[in-house]
Amino acid sequence: MSTTNPDPAPLSDESRAQLLNAEVARYAQRGWTVQSVVAGQAVVSRNKRIGWFWNLILVLLTGGLWLIYVVYRALNRKVLTVVITVDAAGRIRTS
């Protein structure tokens, strides 16, 4: 009967950094901005998109009154933030 170790050997800091950099590069390709990268953890963010099609329709239907709301939303967009971490086993987690 053989026993297997459920926890793999811990990765070196270099390997973890390479995994983290690869994941950050994937996010950057999709339009995310890198805020910080620190030992095994990165923070990326982007502005939440505005649905221009329906807002344009509502601007036209309301004779321009809806434009006030659109301008307000464009100036005060929410920021989506994701924290990417790589643990000692090399698992990538986002939150």
pLDDT of residue 1: 47
Q: What is the pLDDT averaged over residues 73-91?
A: 92
pLDDT of residue 47: 92
Give the H or E element holding residue 92.
Answer: strand 92-94
18-34 per-position pLDDT tens digit:
999 999 999 999 999 99
pLDDT of residue 76: 92
Q: Give me the residues paired with residue 37 across strands.
A: 42
**Is the pLDDT confidence value at 83 over 60?**
yes
Q: What is the pLDDT averaged over residues 25-44?
A: 94
**Is the pLDDT confidence value at 2 over 70?**
no
* Cβ-Cβ contacts under 8 Å for 62 (sequence gap 6 or more): none
pLDDT band at 88 (very low <50, low <70, confident <90, very high): confident
